[in-house]
Amino acid sequence: MENRIDVNIAGYALTVRTDRSEEHMARLAETLNGRVREIQKQGATTNYLNVIMLAAMELADEVLMFEERFKEKKDQIEALRREREDLKTQVDRRSRNLLTTLEKALE
């Protein structure tokens, strides 16, 4: 169900149609507004649109960095899974060899 939620981004009222909760949208708006305030404090630009775009770019950069880190961790997990399977195969093979050796020794 799509909701119409009013948010305030950098002093501008915006109505958003979304499936997200009002609380979620408020958190998004506050996150963006926090970035806008940080950029404004730095005084890099006074153009409000530029400030908002810089804040959005910073947040998008964080998303991309998290995606890269997630992929790296996912790849590490997959490598560890393969290594575990290889070790399990080695243990199974060595166990069979040991049993064969013991059976021959007991004959």
Q: How many domains does the chain have?
A: 1
Domain of residue 26 covers 3-106
| CB 8 within 8 Å of CB 14 | yes
If we measure between CA atoms, which residue out of 40, 31, 39 comes closest to residue 9?
A: 31
pLDDT tens digits, one per residue of 13-49: 999 999 999 999 999 999 999 999 999 999 877 788 8
pLDDT tens digits, one per residue of 51-72: 999 999 999 999 999 999 999 9
Entry pTM: 0.69
